[in-house]
Structures are given as structure tokens and as C-alpha cells.
Amino acid sequence: MRIHVVDHPLVAHKLTTLRDRRTDSPTFRRLADELVTLLAYEATRDVRTAVVGIETPVAPTTGVRLSHPRPLVVPILRAGLGMLDGMVRLLPTAEVGFLGMVRNEETLEASTYATRMPDDLSGRQVYVLDPMLATGGTLVAAIDLLIQRGADDVTAICLLAAPEGVALMERELAGKPVTVVTASVDERLDENGYIVPGLGDAGDRLYGAAEG
């Protein structure tokens, strides 16, 4: 597994406002959207392309286009949905699948409540969107499923990560074709499994507190 922490002043600037508790939901949504586009620019450095021939108004030449099969983008509901628009703005032809996952607030175990994506991902390049890599339970389970279905290149884009989650991924996904791209690896997790300093509950800050 590889990890890439994007070191860029615009990323740091947007992340600082995102972390600020005074930032309201509409601003938080806009910043998450802008930030994912910047992270996605780095995360798609190895997106697969094919050489094509074209003609400009002046001369024939060659260029590149995204190759087939198209990349699959998988936001992890709920909070990952806040990253989808920013991602598909950069990859408008990507196919989109959905994974609904929730972490039990006491045990911190992740469970899956919805899966809507192709059964066969053989040879597919997949981009998983989840703002928070905390204990890592959610992303490990999500990526295991994608690899079981045949994905051979998985990149997780996270706004924030905790060292504990990165370590779990390194342990559980060792030797697998997985990359994590994030704006920051923070200090630690607190006793409730929240990233410190973090930004709080990403789902709640995007969409309001969830019941049930």
C-alpha cells in the first residue's frame, strides 16, 4: 500500500477552514467539494490512458484519452457523497458505484448497509471516496470487497487520515494494489475514535446529525 499526503498551500488553506468548528454546512460542503478536486488531481496521476490519433485544424497528431473500461468511482455513504461532485468534475466519464457503510459508535466496527456497483470489477481501476480514515475499519472492508470483485488498482481519496487507520491499512492490505491520497495525516484518534485534531463528524457537518 502506498500513501501520498498532498502538500500544497491551497489544500492546507481549504483544510484549515474545513476544520474550523465555526464553518457552517453550506461552506463545509463547498470546501469539501473544492478540496476533493485538488486531491483528485494528484490521485489520478496514474489513471489509465490510451494513445489516440486526432487531427487539429492544422495537422494530424497523437494524444491520449482515458482508456476503457472507464474508471469506477465509489463514494462511501453518507459522508463520501460530499466528495462525488468534485471527483466527477475531473473524471466526467467515470462510472459511479455506491457503498453504504456505517461505523458502530460504541464498538467502532464498520458494517455495510447498501452495495450498488458491478459484480465484476476485473481489471478495473477504482477510486474510493471517504473523507475520514479513522480506525481504518471502513476503508479496509470497502477495499477488500472491491479487490474480491476483481479491482486491480484501488485509490482511496480521504480528506483526513489518522496514523492508526493508516497502520491498519498497511497491515491488512499489505502487498495489495492500493494507494491512499489524503490532505493530512493527523495526530491520533481520541477515545471515541475521532481524528484529533480532525474536523469532527464529517457526515454530520455535511448533512446534519443522522438518526437511526
Q: Which cell is 179 given?
A: 494507494
Binding residue for ligand URA (CB under 6 A) from 47, 146, 202, 206? 202
**Residue appearing with cell numbers 469506477:** 72
Which listed range, 11-19, 52-60, 145-153, 187-195, lies at the site for ligand URA (CB under 6 A)? 187-195
Binding residue for ligand URA (CB under 6 A) from 169, 179, 198, 206? 198
Task: Tell me the C-alpha distance between 157 and 48, whole Å.
Answer: 17
Task: Tell me the C-alpha distance between 115 and 98, whole Å.
Answer: 6
Task: Tell me the C-alpha distance between 101 and 111, whole Å.
Answer: 6
Q: Which residues are annotated as a binding site?
A: 78, 103, 130-138, 195, 200-202
List the Cα angle 60/62/67 in 5-degree steps.
Answer: 140
We find the least distance from the C-beta atom of residue 204 to ligand URA, in angstroms, to be 7
77 binds ligand URA (CB under 6 A): no
Cβ–Cβ under 8 Å, residues 71 and 125: yes
135 binds ligand PRP (CB under 6 A): yes
Peptide bond into 177 cis (omega under 30): no
Which listed range, 25-33, 46-54, 74-82, 177-185, lies at the site for ligand PRP (CB under 6 A)? 74-82
132 binds ligand PRP (CB under 6 A): yes
Cβ–Cβ under 8 Å, residues 70 and 85: no
The residues in 121-160 that bind ligand URA, with binding defined as CB under 6 A, are 132, 134
Which CB, 38 or 101, lies closer to ligand PRP?
Answer: 101
Binding residue for ligand PRP (CB under 6 A) from 134, 143, 151, 156? 134
